[in-house]
Amino acid sequence: MRKYTILFQICLLQLLLICINCKSQNRTQSATTSDKSKPALSKVKKNYFITEYPQEFFSVQCGLEDKAGNMWFGTGGNGIYIYDGKSFTNFTHLDGLCHDDILCACADKAGNIWFGTRNGVIRYKPSAGKPVKTDFTSFLILANTISRSTRTKIPYTYRPAENFVWSIYQDRTGKIWFGTNKGVYVCDPLADPGSDVPLFTRFLEDDRILNKDNLVLKDISGIAEDKDGNIWFSSGYIDQEGICRYDGRSLTNFKPDGIGSFRSIIASKTGDLFFLSTFRGTYRYDGKSFINFTKQIGLKNDTITAIAEDRTGNFWFGAASDNLLNGGSGGVWRYDPAASLTAGSRSLTKFTTKDGLSHNCVFCILEDRHRNIWFGTRNTGLCRYDGRQFTDFTDR
């Protein structure tokens, strides 16, 4: 019963966010400060622009490292933070962002960074020097969608809460894939090289795609590419389409152990794919079959919310906590495959707030070029682990 209670709470949270999305659109989008006066922050300062929610519902939920070594973090309700190794800079709707709830992030081959939000997509196109507000441009995918056959724009009338962008991924050919609550869209930068406004096509509009299961591919929570160039999609809570594979011609549907909802996908260094289901663990696909990986390694926590693989081959699993205010029983687990092969060695290690973790509910895990592991947590928490100790960047 406990896991279904948690599922109900998450679904209720999603519905509440959709409702307040309409309110957030009416808030001012004009900048109240100039870039020159934007202060450098020593820690992640919390603004909580969406006042309808208590502080424990806000989180650091996605991140990446750019080519220059800057760390970028997208938050729920506090916009985007950039860490240059010394201080943080924060960009929000006051700087022109289309929304302060950043759902996902992706760096493309040209050096741009894309962010999915609850009201469209943001593109950061770097200029000279440090990031400034004019480097960010917001787009509605539906308002910039063209017909695949005629290459002309499809008329669109704005409606609140239908521009959610849950996932973004660039494949090896350069195409950028967007998973939205209205379906999967594709942007090909090479198709319109002279335009500064990205144009999108709806993936399933292509009649050549064989779709025998009549998949709708809405509410796509994760997108990844395997070693053979196949594109994989994970379906979220709403449509429950499980895992889908596109091989360039046809779509194939998988539901290991009957599971229809997955949170994210990662491709490992060995070429295997890992699919994270929040309440049923993480499944490993080796090209032939799906195996419940977390169960296999002895990780019994059924509320896994994040997964990452570091350069040494260790896997990190972030868990949700039961008590939103006090951190509960979540934390983060590190699995060392090498240790599992040595008799008497401990392959699973758990870290919590007692070890320095900023909060026991972890939504984001990533490794930087110096092999530090970063954790984004609830309560807009952010910390860094260097292999010995944690450094907390959370504004308490």
228-254 residue pLDDT tens: 999 999 998 888 999 999 999 999 999
pLDDT at 303: 86
Among 64, 67, 61, 65, which Cα is nearest to 17's? 61
Q: Are strands 290-292 and 281-285 parallel, antiparallel or unpaired?
A: antiparallel
Taking 80 as the threshold, does the pLDDT of residue 192 lie above it?
Answer: no
Residue predicted with more confidence, 279 or 356: 356
Please give the pLDDT value at position 301.
64
Tens of pLDDT, residues 302-348: 689 999 999 999 999 999 876 655 556 799 999 999 887 665 557 99
Which listed CATH number (2.60.40, 2.160.20, 2.40.10, 1.10.357) goes with 304-396?
2.40.10
Instruction: Return the pLDDT at 348.
Output: 93
Q: How far is it, in rounded angstroms, from Cα 154 to Cα 230?
A: 28
327, with CB counted inside 10 A (0-12, 13-18, 19+), is buried
Encoding tokens for residue 89?
A: 């800079």
3-class DSSP state for residue 335? strand
CB 245 within 8 A of CB 234: no
Task: Give residue 382's pLDDT.
Answer: 97
- Spatial strand order in the sheet of 315-319: 304-309, 315-319, 331-335, 348-351
Burial of 228 from C-beta contacts in 10 A (0-12 / 13-18 / 19+):
exposed
Q: What is the mean pLDDT of residues 3-21?
A: 43
Longest dimension (CA), the chain: 64
On whether the CB atoms of residues 319 and 332 are closer than 8 A, the answer is yes
Structure tokens at 62: 């996605």
Pick the CATH number of 2-303 from 1.20.910.10, 2.130.10.10, 3.20.20.120, 3.40.50.1980: 2.130.10.10
Please state, for a pLDDT cut of 90, what percent of the chain lies above it: 72
**Checking DSSP bridges between strand 264-267 and strand 251-254, what pairing results, if any?**
unpaired
Which residue matches tokens 């240059």?
84
pTM: 0.89
Mean pLDDT of 368-389: 96
Is it the case that residue 194 has pLDDT exceeding 70?
no
- Between the alpha carbon of residue 378 and those of residues 80, 157, 200, 318, 322, the distances in Å are 15, 35, 33, 11, 12
State the virtual CA torsion across 10, 15, 20, 24 in degrees, nearest 10: 80
61-118 per-position pLDDT tens digit: 999 999 999 999 999 999 999 999 999 999 999 999 999 999 999 999 999 999 999 9
* Angle CA 79–164–38, to nearest 5: 15
State the DSSP code for 40. P
Q: Can you give the residue ranges of every domain in the chain?
A: 2-303, 304-396
Q: How far apart are CA 290 and CA 272, in angstroms?
A: 10
How many H helices and E strands in the chain? 3, 28
CB 347 within 8 A of CB 337: yes
Q: Is the pLDDT of residue 190 over 90?
A: no
Residue 242 has a pLDDT of 96
Question: 18 pLDDT exceeds 80?
Answer: no
The alpha carbon of residue 92 and the mean position of all alpha carbons in its chain are separated, in whole angstroms, by: 18
pLDDT at 394: 93
Q: What is the DSSP letter of 4?
A: H
At residue 368, the pLDDT reads 98
What was the pLDDT predicted at 187? 96
Q: CA torsion, points 167, 134, 77, 37, in degrees to nearest 10? A: 150
